[in-house]
Amino acid sequence: MESPVPKAAPTVDPAAASSPASRRVNVRKPEVMDLVQQEVEHHYRSLVVEKLRARGGSLTVGDTTLLLAQEFGFCYGVERAIDLAYASRRVFPERRIFLIGEIIHNPEVNRQLVTMGIQSLPWQEMNSQYDDLTPEDVVIVPAFGAPVTFMDKVESKGCSIVDTTCGDVMKVWKRVRGYARDGITSIIHGKAGHEETQATASRALGESGNGHYLLVLTLEDTDFVCNYLRDGGDRSAFYAKFSKACSPGFDPDLHLTRVGVANQTTMLKSETEEIQRRIRQAVIDRDGTDAHFQMFDTICGATQERQDALFGLLKQQLDVLLVVGGYNSSNTTHLVEIGERSLPTYFIRSADCLVSLDEIAHYDLHQRSEITSTPLGLLGDGPRRIGITAGASCPNNLIEAAVLKVFALRGIDPAAVEAA
Ligand code: SF4
């Protein structure tokens, strides 16, 4: 049963009140947050996972051992974003509430918001739905933030804005704005198709809008840029490669003179460090000094902790690794990449993917689609050791369902697991 929705008057966020155009509202009220807490726990909490964590993340029943990473699942930024979205519904029970894109990259959480009447607006293009917004509407900004043009549009329509942008994302914005102010081009390690990277790129244009950025995703992209830094190169080849990954008017012969590296908060740390190292070396090779190079590691603490915890888990003997999370979740994808280097690893969105001991549906990062395989490591009569982790946008109830399904497929009743 849902708790009755109390009406509580919103207050203008004091941090935003100085801007006359801003209608940012603070929905974090004690009387609302207590109810939100209960609701969020009801939807996403798992006693099984909490017990598993309390016993060090290891559970053996029969011949099956399940090992959970020390850090997994919801991060502080995601918890805050979900709390604020739920609070918005309670504070504005009769208003239309919109969300720019998805609150986080998890289908289950997004589905819950839809059932609460929170409608998603497109985040890749500003369509007529934005024109139809009115001052009576509430717009939630997701944990990734939103590009400046989207924020300007929503503000111009006079909507009440509930901004759930994670503080760690805002730290990156501060850095790239600083680069723009100093005439430095931001080289952003991130996914061009990711909300956070688009939001960050828009801030890299700076207050004047004259700043520049270049997005790199892979080491191959980086080497292309490094070669251009050292020797110049073929401009048309550069534009062919980066036309959708650079600022308007970007000229590689002008705008790579002074560069500063930043990164999407959820990238693979080792790869980001290598990208920083290669670009710095290219600047030194060109200039004889790194005076025109800056860098700032903006991988967030939660991403780092989950990657470190997985490295810890992989030190143990495992037959297979399951990674639970939304297929479009960046931080979850990197956990899968780490796992794949060591053992059979399956990226699953929910327990439903664990069809049988012969069949698992999972996202293949290389084919970029969900495929079906025989789950190596789960099969067999002998003892099995199964590792499990989850990305920062995965709720504990989904992890619990995966844990119970693994044991069930191995012939162990959920009651025996819960009693263990
Ligand atoms: S993954 Fe990091 S940046 Fe993203 S919401 Fe969580 S804490 Fe914030």
CA 252 to chain centre: 30
Out of 295, 319, 336, pick the residue that ends a domain.
295
The per-residue pLDDT for 3 is 38
Q: Which two tokens stand for residue 104?
A: 């986080």
Q: SS3 helix, strand, coil % of the chain, rounded to 5? A: 40, 20, 40
First to last CA, the chain: 30
Tell me: the pLDDT tens digits for 379-418? 667 899 999 999 999 999 999 999 999 999 999 988 888 8
State the distance from the centre of ligand 1 to the C-alpha of 143, rounded, in angstroms: 7
The per-residue pLDDT for 285 is 98
- Which residue has the CA at smallest separation from atom 7 of ligand 1? 77
- Taking alpha carbons only, the member of 334, 346, 341 closest to residue 304 is 334
pTM to 2 decimals?
A: 0.90
Are residues 29 and 159 both part of a single domain?
A: yes
Q: Is 25 exposed, middle or buried (0-12, 13-18, 19+ CB in 10 A)?
A: buried
What lies within 8 Å, CB to CB, of 65 at 6+ separation is 58, 59, 383, 384, 385, 386
- Taking alpha carbons only, the member of 20, 115, 183, 238 closest to residue 12 is 20
Are residues 369 and 257 both part of a single domain?
A: no
Out of 295, 313, 336, pick the residue that ends a domain.
295
- Domain of residue 89: give its range: 11-42+77-166
Are residues 333 and 407 both part of a single domain?
A: yes
Are residues 173 and 206 both part of a single domain?
A: yes
The per-residue pLDDT for 313 is 98
- Which residue has the CA at smallest separation from atom 4 of ligand 1? 77
Q: Which residues of the chain have pLDDT under 50?
A: 1-20
The per-residue pLDDT for 22 is 53
Ligand 1, pocket-test mutation among 102, 169, 333, most atoms within 8 A of CB: 169
The per-residue pLDDT for 382 is 83
State the distance from the centre of ligand 1 to the C-alpha of 165, rounded, in angstroms: 9
Q: Which two tokens stand for residue 129?
A: 């739905």
- Taking alpha carbons only, the member of 89, 94, 91, 92 closest to residue 103 is 89
- Taking alpha carbons only, the member of 403, 405, 388 closest to residue 347 is 388
Are residues 281 and 414 both part of a single domain?
A: no
For residue 65, which phi and psi values (nearest 5 degrees)? -115, 130
Nearest ligand 1 atom, CA 76: 7
- In 10 A of CB 214, how many CB atoms? 23
The DSSP secondary-structure symbol of 351 reads G
- Which residue has the CA at smallest separation from atom 6 of ligand 1? 77
Are residues 190 and 275 both part of a single domain?
A: yes
- The H-or-E segment that residue 317 falls in is none
- In 10 A of CB 180, how many CB atoms? 23
196 labelled catalytic: yes
State the distance from the centre of ligand 1 to the C-alpha of 414, rounded, in angstroms: 32
The whole-angstrom separation of Cα 273 and Cα 219 is 11
Are residues 341 and 245 both part of a single domain?
A: no
- Which residue has the CA at smallest separation from atom 5 of ligand 1? 77
135 lies in some domain: yes
Active-site residue, selected from the candidate residues 125, 196, 207, 337: 196
Please identify which residue in the block is written with the tokens 């839809």.
Answer: 114
4 lies in some domain: no
Say if CB 379 and CB 53 are below 8 A apart: no
- Taking alpha carbons only, the member of 151, 90, 145, 85 closest to residue 119 is 85
Q: What is the DSSP string of 85-142?
A: HHHHHHHSTTS-EEEES-SSS-HHHHHHHHHTTEEEEPSSS--HHHHT--TT-EEEE-
State the distance from the centre of ligand 1 to the C-alpha of 156, rounded, in angstroms: 28
Q: Which two tokens stand for residue 171?
A: 């730290």
The per-residue pLDDT for 12 is 45
CB contact burial 303-316 (16+ within 10 A = b; e otherwise): bbbbbebbeebbee
The per-residue pLDDT for 21 is 52
Beta bridge partner(s), residue 386: 66, 320
Domain count, the chain: 3
The per-residue pLDDT for 1 is 33
CA 123 to chain centre: 15
The DSSP secondary-structure symbol of 80 reads H
CATH code of the domain covering residue 187: 3.40.1010.20
Nearest ligand 1 atom, CA 331: 1
Ligand 1, pocket-test mutation among 76, 170, 333, most atoms within 8 A of CB: 76
The per-residue pLDDT for 9 is 46
The per-residue pLDDT for 166 is 97
Identify the residues whose C-beta falls under 6 Å from ligand 1.
75-78, 143, 166, 168-169, 265-266, 300, 302-303, 331, 392
Output the average pLDDT for the chain. 92
Beta bridge partner(s), residue 371: 362
Nearest ligand 1 atom, CA 168: 3
The per-residue pLDDT for 358 is 87
State the distance from the centre of ligand 1 to the C-alpha of 144, rounded, in angstroms: 8
State the distance from the centre of ligand 1 to the C-alpha of 46, rounded, in angstroms: 21
Cα-Cα-Cα-Cα dihedral sign, residues 165, 170, 173, 177: positive
Are residues 408 and 316 both part of a single domain?
A: yes
2 lies in some domain: no
Are residues 332 and 265 both part of a single domain?
A: no
Nearest ligand 1 atom, CA 81: 5
Are residues 30 and 161 both part of a single domain?
A: yes
Are residues 385 and 326 both part of a single domain?
A: yes
Strands (E), 108-239: 118-121, 138-141, 160-163, 185-189, 213-216
Are residues 259 and 128 both part of a single domain?
A: no
